[in-house]
Structures are given as C-alpha cells and as structure tokens.
Chain A
Amino acid sequence: MASHAQPVTDSTTTRPVQFKIWRGDASGGAFEQYTARVTGGMVVLDCIHQVQAEQVPDLACRWNCKAGKCGSCSAEINGKPALMCMTRMDTLPTDQPVTVEPLRAFPSIRDLVTDVSWNYEVKKKITPFTPRKPDRPDGTWTMYQEDIERTQEFRKCIECFLCQDVCHVLRDHHKHDEFIGPRFLVNIAALEMHPLDVADRIADLKDRDGIGYCNIGKCCTKVCPESITITDNAIIPLKERVVDEFYDPITRLLRIFRSK
C-alpha cells in the first residue's frame, strides 16, 4: 500500500498577493493593480476569479474546465505564456506583483480575452482526414498500438494556442497570412502520421502553410502544457518530408519525367 499524501503547502493561512492585470480593449489599455487573498494550492485563475467576483465583476477572462483539459484560460503570466488554471501561486515570486495579460500574438477583445478566430480559419483550410479503404468487410481497420503512438501524441493538443502566441513568426513578424504556426503544423503532423490517412499535404506545407518560416527555435515546445514535442516530433519530420518531396535531386528528376 502506498504512503498517504501530506499537503505540500499550508491551505489554512491566507496571505495577500498583489496582481497587475491588463485591462482594456482593441483601442488600448493598461495594467491595473488588485490584491487577492491566496491560500495554499491556489492557481492564478482562482485569483482572477476572486478579483472578478469581489472587486470587478466585468473583468473579462475565458475559462472552462479549470483542469488543464480545454485550453481556454491561456494568458501571459509574468510575461510567460501559460494556462492560468495550471499555474500554481506557490510557483511564482510574490515579493513583486504578479502580472497577468492577454496573449499578445492575437488582437485584444477585452481585458484577458483575445480574438483567436484566425486559428479557426486556418484549420478549415487543412485537407481533412482521408482514410484508406476499410481493411475488413464490416468497414473497420486494423491498426497496432505502436503505429499510433506518434499521432496520439499530437492528438493530445488542447488548442490553447500558447505555441502560436510564443512563436516569433506570428508574435513579432505577424506572418499570419503566410504561416500557420506550430499548432497547425502539429495538426498536419497528426494527419500525415495517422496510419489510415492517404491525403498528401506536403505541397501545401511548403507553399501555403509556410513551414519554411520555422527556424526551429523550440519556444513552442517549451510552453506546451501537454508536453508535446512539437519541434522535434512534428515540425522537423514535416520539414524533412518537404525536403524529400521538393528538394531531393532524384525526386526532382522523377518529377520532371512524370510531368512530361
């Protein structure tokens, strides 16, 4: 029998913690200072809720599951993109105010809420799952566990868009029209490495999706709350497929012959 858990922090005492929360909308805004009462085990989202319920009922934020499963409460906490519901207060220094601001790679709607609709538009353009013919007469397929582990890793994505937020191509260079960002490279990797899928998205990756913009800085991998190895397992193999398809001399030669 396992040993029984002891609390790692004291949940009975309460201490005041200062917060600087960004308030504003598309026309501009500023940090405003609030105080939350913090007890052991609390996360940043608890503090935002407390401020909302007791001090500023119109403080706008998104949240759903409060369990790191839906990816709604993405924000920048002390400048670092993170889920508010999974960031424990006892991991943050509290000798200075904790800053909470919206994702900066997307337009502001109000306070901590940003307009992430671009992501939904990008997803629509990706060639959907296209399975091979069923393996059995009853319309089902055979797949082995070892063949699906990779795509299952990518399918853990909760679409919190933290990787999109931290990606310099989107955040600093605003290439939203030319680059789909790490989330959707993972999305394409999940489809391309799905054992049943037969569609080809490699030409799109090169031309429309702008995979070349990624210079494998791995910032996306570092912020992923699901610990998906975005760069190494998704983006680099996709880059290799693009290279094999379009830049490999033998393939290019074959392409010239085929096109004739």
Chain B
Amino acid sequence: MSIPEAIVHEHDVIVIGAGGAGLRAAIEASATGAKVAVICKSLLGKAHTVMAEGGMAAAMGHVDDRDNWEVHFADTMRGGGYLNNWVMAEHHAKEAPDRVRELEAWGAVFDRTKDGRILQRHFGGHRYQRLAHVGDRTGLEMIRTLQDHGIHQGLDVYMEMTVIALLRSGGRIAGVLGYDRERGRLRVWRAGAVILATGGIGKAYRITSNSWEYTGDGQSLAYEAGAEIMDMEFIQFHPTGMVWPPSVRGLLVTEGVRGEGGALRNSEGRRFMWDDIPEAYKNQVAADEEEAWRYVCGDKNAQRPPELLTRDHVARCINREVKAGRGSPHGGVFLDIAWIKSRVPNGEEYIKKKLPSMYHQFMQLAGVDITREAMEVGPTTHYCMGGVRVDGDTQMSSVPGLFAAGEVAAGLHGANRLGGNSLSDLVVFGRRAGESAARWAKEHGAAPVDNAQVESETARALAPFDRLNGENPYAIQSDLQNVMQRLVGMVRVQSELEEALGHIASLRARAANCGVVGHREYNPGWHTAIDLRNLLLVSEMITKSALLRPESRGGHFREDFPLRSEECTGFNLVASRADDGSMNIQRRQRPPIRADLQAIIERMK
C-alpha cells in the first residue's frame, strides 16, 4: 500500500522547530555529516526566540570575576526548588560560556565591556552579573545568527508546516507526518531520528507573553508517541507583562528593566518587594534602596534589590498587592525605570539606549513614555518548565530515536526557571541533542513507516472538513484559555483544579465536533483545529499534575498547601498514556544527587 497522496522526504535527522534550540540542533547534526531537515511552523527567523529580550546566562566572569560554573549551577538549582535534573544543570552551567563565544564566532554582536569583551548584566536569581545581551533584543540576535549560519550548512528548511503526528515503527521513531500550510498537501518525512524543539504551551492561557505558535505541539506529539512528559505543573508566570491596553495584555516587559534598576511600587508608592523576602535569599537582598542601587551599578559588596528575586516570588508579590487593593488603575502594579534619571547623568538617553524596544513598545502601543512615566505591569504566562522527559546527557526521550531540546524538554529548570537560563538552555542542549540524534540515526538507520498509522492520522486531521456545521475551533480555544486562566493559573486550589478537569473534558467533546470551512490552502481555521488537540492535551497534563503535587514550589502555588513540603522534594510527576488511552500521572522518585554537586549547593547556601 502506498502512502495516500503524501509527498515523501528522506533524511537522517528531522528537527521540528526553528527557534534557538532547533537551529542549534540542526547545525550540530549537520556538522557530523547527517542529512538534516528543519520543519517549522512559521517562516524561518520568526520563531518565539526572537521575543527573548534580557540575555543569555553564562558564567564567563567578564564583569564579576567571582563568577564560575559552580555558582551558576547552584543558582539554577536554588531557583528551581531543587527539582532540576542536576546532570542537565551541570552541563548547562559548564557549557554556556562556550556557546556564547561560539555565537560571537558566527557573527553575533553582543554589547561590550569597557575593555572590549562581552558585557554581562544582572538578572533575577543570578548571584553575579551573568547575562550576555544585546540591549533588550538578545533573542533576535541569537536567532538571526543561527539562521544566517545555518543556511550555509546545507540544511533543508521546510517553512510553514503543521506537524500532525510522529510516526513510529515498533517501539522507535520512524518519521514525521504533517502538511504544508500553503497548499495543504500531506508530507511524510522519513528519518532515523527526530528532535523536538517546538517550545512551550502559553496559548493554553488567556494572558500570555507567548506567540500563536506556543500550543504545546511537541509535548502532545511526544505524549501520543508514547513518551513521558514531566513536571507539567510548573508554569512560569512572568511578573511583568503589560496590562494595558487590553489588546496587548500579557506582552512581555523584560526583566532587564529591573536589572537596570527598575523599581516595583504599589499605588501607595511603596517598594513592596521588601515586604516579603524568602528564607533562601535572605542573605542576598539589599538592606535599603541605597544598597540596591549600588548593586545595580556593579558594587560587588552590595546585595541585590528585591525586585531581582526569582520570577515565581515576584509574580506572587504583585498578585498579593493587586488583591489587597494596592494595584494600578488597570489591575497591575507600577514598574518605574524613570526614577533612575535622578542617579544617572543624561538618564533619558541612557534608558533609551539600554531598553530600546521597551521604550518603543510602550510609546507605540500604550502611549507611555517610560523615561518619564511608570509602566503598569502584571503577571503573564511565560514559560513551561515541564516537558518531554529526557536523558540529561543525550536529550533522548523515553521513545528511542526521539529527542527534545529547549522549552519542550523538561529538567534543567526544575520548578522555576531563572531569567536568562532559557537562551543558554537552547544552545547548550540544542547542540547536545543534534550531536546525539545524528549519532543515533547513524547507528540505527531508518525504520519503515507504518502506512496504517499515516492513514489513520491523516483521516483524523482532515475530519473537521467533513463537519460542515461543526463548531468554530476559535470559540473552543478561547473558552479553554479562560478556563486555564481562571482555574489553573498562578494560585491553585483542589476544588478549582477539579472543576477545570470537568471543563477540559467537555471542551474535548466540543473539539471532537469542531468544523472547518473553506479548503485546505492556507486555512487558519484548520490550523487552529489541529492546535486545539494539543492545547487540550497539555491543559489536562498541567491540571492533573497540579492536583497531584500537594505543596507550593516555584511555578506551582497551591492555596490549600501554601508551603514547600520536604516529602515532595523527592519526586517529579511524570505523565504518560496508559494502554486504555487515559492519562496516567505518576510520582517518579528522584535519583540522589552526586555528592560533589551536593557539596557545591551546600557551600553556596
């Protein structure tokens, strides 16, 4: 039996996703001589990585020579509530500096220190100035550098594709099934190995900093292919998203604003972050505004402003102020960078130089001049710490031949990601995944594609066209976002999580009857119908996992269990599909941490 109407491509390694992780993986796999293709959902160079602003964490010690990989490792573990995969945290801290230097060798132009080296800036949870950056557009610099380097490596790039399913053969991966959006033609990419680099799940929520692509595709594709998905209860709500006007609610306001001295204030003008300092950071916070400012200016003897505590904590403090009635007119709090004009000569120009796209964004979209006025900000869904469970050395999932890197993979960040650790994650583990996948493909070769699977998955993807009076998928997606925002957001409680599961089940029933009008050529209604299945799956994973973690830690806060539980330090939650098709969530005991790494953590406490 031939594959029905599908165009067939043959490669050694397929990378799904063309953000920082996908491109870095493709470059590495290709460098080993493998035949590599990148499949992306948008045009090349448009992936969500372009939105990363603040920088890329790497212990290069250019600004503060006390920094080294051990400090970075300890910061990452502390920030992650010690649920991180410590193998990954070690690789990440050790390899990030080389990945920064490599980007420079490929043409990236980072901001400089006075002595001509790569400048590093402060960020939340990082003990020393650690983020290599380009103003507040570091992600654009990374993606353009990788893109321009990659196109000369002989990669095949398939743009504007939708992936429907991962193809399996026996227990292993055999390829990818999808369609091109331009014509709606089905395509099969046969491959020895597949790397998922599809990013996150932000579009499951109403208020998010994420772009339309972030619909949990990789997590869902992997889950359906039999892979284990870990830590999905940990969702990062970035403390500072725009809150006004409504059409930009959720849009990111970089942590770089606080790194440059931005102060969070409530409606009474109080810097409320000083009101609640977590135990683990009490030795790392400035005593007063004077010391905080000295820290921003690089005084090595000063401690950080409380605005630069970890994102989970800052977001909860903002939430508290708003709930207590001390918020801003549009339901946020005030983020004030204009005040530094009293400390910096020519402050207006300084702010524009350091935070050009923030200046631009607020001026153009909100009519606010950040060099004169405070911004209104509030928490926004930003990042998924959970994802495909991978081996810390090779990035291979529990399905042989299936790899994952970047946001779609779990492990590095534990319960909460530090700002700046994402861009470094992309290139450190993109490179590792690319290398391992190419090796795996070489050792195992291609596997036959199961035509029956292609046929059944194709039928499933095309079914909405047959339901002429089916429900509009946009309406279902919108209702799902409201459910997740209201019931599975920053503050969670058992009764609401259970209520959410009921809603998700009925939304799934509605989605099974959604319809698509028009034809297959560039039809956004169809794409939304496909995205919807993924969003429903990840929403169920998040909600069920949140129910099964009776404590508060990092990006998971339970009002009914507001404290961290020592017992819960011992496990990660792992979702997988049971034989009957239902979702199974299990506690997975964590392997004991290597003694030398534990010693580093103890030393840095």
Contacts and interface: CB of A to CB of B under 8 A. Distances in A.
Interface in A5-62: 5-9, 11, 25, 39-43, 46, 52-54, 57-62
A63 interface: yes
A3 B373 contact: yes
Contact of B524 (A54, A57, A131, A145): A57
Contacts of A8: 366-367
A191 B152 CA distance: 15
Interface string B79-112: 0000000000000000000000100111101011
Given A70-B46, A194-B109, A60 B339 contact: no
A145 B43 contact: no
Contact of B50 (A6, A57, A158): A158
B368 interface: yes
B48 A148 contact: no
B524 A64 contact: no
Interface in B337-395: 338-339, 357, 360-361, 364-368, 372-376
Given A65-B48, A142-B116, A57 B525 contact: yes
Interface residues of A, number: 70
B43 A116 contact: yes
A57 B51 contact: no
A128 interface: yes
Given A1-B265, A128-B152, A11 B109 contact: no
B106 A129 contact: yes
A159 interface: yes
Contact of A155 (B105, B141, B246, B518): B141
Interface in B39-53: 42-48, 50-51
A68 interface: yes
A216 interface: no
Given A69-B137, A72-B42, A140-B104, A86 B148 contact: no
Interface in B123-167: 134-135, 137, 139-141, 144, 148-149, 151-152
Contacts of A40: 245
Interface in A99-144: 109-111, 113, 115-116, 120, 123-124, 128-129, 131, 134, 138-144
Interface residues of B, number: 80
Interface of A: 1-9, 11, 25, 39-43, 46, 52-54, 57-72, 86, 88, 109-111, 113, 115-116, 120, 123-124, 128-129, 131, 134, 138-145, 148, 151-152, 155-159, 191, 194, 197
Interface of B: 42-48, 50-51, 101, 104-107, 109, 111-112, 115-117, 134-135, 137, 139-141, 144, 148-149, 151-152, 182, 211-213, 244-248, 251-252, 265, 269, 328-330, 334, 336, 338-339, 357, 360-361, 364-368, 372-376, 472-475, 478, 516-519, 521-526, 528
14 contacts: A53-B475, A57-B474, A64-B42, A64-B211, A65-B46, A65-B48, A65-B51, A67-B248, A67-B252, A69-B137, A69-B140, A131-B107, A152-B134, A159-B45
